[in-house]
Structure 1
Amino acid sequence: MPINVPKQLPARHVLEEENIFLMDTDRATTQDIRPLNIVIVNLMPEKERTETQLLRLLGNSPLQVTVTFLHTATHESKTVSPSHLNQFYNTFANIKNQRFDGMIITGAPVELMPFEQVDYWEELSEIMEWSKTHVTSVLHICWAAQAALYYHYGIGKFELPAKCTGVLSHTVANSTVELVRGFDEEYLAPHSRYTGTSVEEVEKNDKLLLLSSTLDNDPFIILSKDEKHVMVTGHLEYDDLTLADEYYRDRNKGIDAAVPKNYFPNDNPEIKPLNRWRSHAHLLFSNWLNYYVYQETPYEWK
């Protein structure tokens, strides 16, 4: 999928080196098609890294995509320059009168806090409420998945005895559902979280479908029955070194961080890890874009 991104966006240079199909606005306007308009609410501290990860996965389909990045106005980011936000990001106030075919809400390092104590919770709640009428389908990642389960379906989170970090094995409950079409019966995906979601609460909710779980029966991919919301409790979008960088960061801070499970070869942090989830990451995003965004969104919003 050719992605329409600004020429100056730092992620563009990384993706061009990977031969990801990109285009700029000048070229996009010469194509007589309607692109999919995707808004990404980027709550991650390392915004540029997350931009690259998500754009890489949005580029694996024959459709044209235009991406709008959103940051929260009620939270001051300390890990990205104001000039980057000013140049490449919007706030909700600037786009709330628009309609989008799809929306992605990223994770955030706030999961140990009660939802209402997160400084941008009121703003995010407004965005999630707005998405009911202004977005065809929403993909929520990690903490955002828990936030969506809490806001839309009243399902809370609970603190784990220890951080869940590593590359875990998962099974698929129903491979005929389009979102997981083509998935292996058992596949790998990264996790990095301190909290969990009750599988019993998900399964008893008549508005939700549990599509995939870890081998320990923790929910991983959840789909609302109206196909409006996709909740993914892990990080299929992570690149090969993201978990390693998180581990080294915590160790450098003096945190007694556990080595991510099933990640480093021979569990040795001195050996470069391999990406063993890339194909399923691309498959999840392409399935979401095709079946839940492109196939469902109107050509012209009324």
Structure 2
Amino acid sequence: MPVKVNSQLPAVKQLEADNIFVMDEDRANQQDIRTLKILVVNLMPRKMVTESQILALLSNTPLQINVDFLQMTSHKSKNITQNHLDTFYKRFDEIETEFYDGMIVTGAPVENLAFEAVDYWDELKDLLDWSRSHVYSTLHICWGAQAGLYARYGIPKHKLSQKLWGVYQQSVENPKHVLFRGFDDEFFSPHSRSTENFSVELPQDFDILSVGDKTGLSIAAKKNLREVYSFGHLEYDRLTLDFEYQRDKANGESEQIPEHYYPHDDPSQTPKMNWSSAASLFFSNWLNYAVYQDTPYDLRKLAKYEYYNL
């Protein structure tokens, strides 16, 4: 899928080096088609890394996508310059009257805080309320999934006795579900979290799509696919967990080694990556079946005809 973004975004050079097709604005404007509009709410601290990861996964189908990144103006980022955010990210007041085929809400390293203690919580809640009439399908990732369930339904997160950290085997609960078309019976996914959600607390109009012996609930979705919740990190690249391990070790926070990640549990060896194909297929299925197949051609109908079903 040709991904259309600002050609000056630093992630573009990395994507092109990895042979991933990124279309510049001039070429995109010459194509007589309606592009899919995707809003990425990037809450991760290493924003440039997450930009590359998300854009790479949005590039695997033959549709054209226009991607906007959104910043939380109530939060001061420590790992990225404000100039980068002002140049490549939009504020909510700039997109408030826009409509999007899809939205991605990433994870964030704030899961040990109460939701209300997160400095941008009110802003995020307002965004999720707005999405009901301005976004067709939203994919929530890790803490973004927990935040979505709490903001929309009041469903709490629960503290784990030990951090869930590593790459874990997951089940495919319904192989015929559109989000898992093409999947094998099992797949692997990275997880990095200290809290969890329980399947029994989900609303009745949800499908439980994937679980794991160690991870518990992994992926769930509303039956109409307007909301998809993934509690792992399929978007992670090979070295993301390694970065987190080295960072925590250097800070004296933890020396816990991510499970099933390094060969022989030896951090000096190159980590294994066995989730890439599952990640690519999952994001492609979300774009195709939850977004492209059902979204109205005229996105203004999202508000006019109340496409969001409570």
Mapping 1:252-267, distance limit 5 Å: 252-267=250-265
Aligned mates of 1:184, 1:155 — CA distance in 2: 31
Cross-structure match for 2:266:
268
Say if 2:27 is the partner of 1:27. yes
Aligned mates of 1:136, 1:213 — CA distance in 2: 25
Q: Aligned letter for 1:142?
A: C
Q: Aligned letter for 1:109?
A: P
Q: Give the secondary structure class of the aligned counterpart of 2:187.
A: strand
Task: Provide the aligned length of Structure 1 versus Structure 2.
Answer: 300
Cross-structure match for 1:281:
279
Q: Is the 8 A contact 1:143 1:233 kept in 2?
A: yes
Aligned mates of 1:21, 1:256 — CA distance in 2: 39
Cα displacement (A) at 1:217: 6.2
Say if 2:227 is the partner of 1:229. yes
Cα displacement (A) at 1:123: 0.5
Match of 2:297 among 286, 296, 299: 299
Cα displacement (A) at 1:183: 1.4
Q: Give the secondary structure class of the aligned counterpart of 2:207.
A: strand
Q: CA RMSD in A?
A: 0.9
Q: Aligned letter for 2:40?
A: I
Q: Give the secondary structure class of the aligned counterpart of 2:168.
A: strand
Q: Aligned letter for 1:223?
A: A
Cross-structure match for 1:219:
217
Say if 2:240 is the partner of 1:245. no
Q: Is the 8 A contact 2:219 2:230 kept in 1?
A: yes
Aligned mates of 1:216, 1:272 — CA distance in 2: 24
Aligned mates of 1:70, 1:259 — CA distance in 2: 33
Q: Aligned letter for 2:297?
A: Y
How far does the alpha carbon of each residue in 1:201-235 deviate from its partner, in whole angstroms, 9 at most, with x for none?
23xx2121110001246111110122110000010
Cross-structure match for 2:56:
56
How far does the alpha carbon of each residue in 1:167-220 deviate from its partner, in whole angstroms, 9 at most, with x for none?
000001111110111111111000000111112223xx2121110001246111
How far does the alpha carbon of each residue in 1:27-67 deviate from its partner, in whole angstroms, 9 at most, with x for none?
00011111000000000110000000000000000000000
User: In structure 2, do the counterparts of structure 1 residues 13 and 217 end up closer, same or farther at CA, with 3 Å as the change threshold?
Assistant: closer
Aligned mates of 2:199, 2:204 — CA distance in 1: 13
**TM-score of the superposed pair, with normalisation by structure 1:** 0.98
**TM-score of the superposed pair, with normalisation by structure 2:** 0.95
Aligned mates of 1:11, 1:252 — CA distance in 2: 27
Cross-structure match for 2:186:
186
How far does the alpha carbon of each residue in 1:124-151 deviate from its partner, in whole angstroms, 9 at most, with x for none?
0000011111000000000000011112
Q: Aligned letter for 1:282?
A: S
Q: Is the 8 A contact 2:101 2:299 kept in 1?
A: no
Q: Is the 8 A contact 1:199 1:217 kept in 2?
A: no
Q: Aligned letter for 1:228?
A: R
Q: Is the 8 A contact 1:168 1:214 kept in 2?
A: yes
Match of 1:209 among 207, 210, 223: 207
Q: Aligned letter for 2:61?
A: S
Aligned mates of 1:251, 1:301 — CA distance in 2: 47
Q: Aligned letter for 1:244?
A: D
Cross-structure match for 2:306:
none
Q: Give the secondary structure class of the aligned counterpart of 1:274.
A: coil
Aligned mates of 1:199, 1:11 — CA distance in 2: 36
Q: Aligned letter for 1:58?
A: L
Aligned mates of 1:255, 1:78 — CA distance in 2: 19
Aligned mates of 2:273, 2:180 — CA distance in 1: 20
The 4+ residue runs of structure 1 with deviation greater than 4 A are none
Mapping 1:145-156, distance limit 5 Å: 145-156=145-156
User: In structure 2, do the counterparts of structure 1 residues 140 and 155 end up closer, same or farther at CA, with 3 Å as the change threshold?
Assistant: same
Identity of counterpart residues, as a percentage? Answer: 49
Aligned mates of 2:81, 2:153 — CA distance in 1: 36
What stretches of structure 1 of length at least 5 have no aligned partner? Answer: none
Cα displacement (A) at 1:162: 1.2
Aligned mates of 1:138, 1:23 — CA distance in 2: 24
Mapping 1:87-236, distance limit 5 Å: 87-202=87-202, 205-216=203-214, 218-236=216-234
Aligned mates of 2:27, 2:42 — CA distance in 1: 26
Q: Aligned letter for 1:68?
A: D
What stretches of structure 2 of length at least 5 have no aligned partner? Answer: 301-310
Q: Is the 8 A contact 1:169 1:187 kept in 2?
A: yes
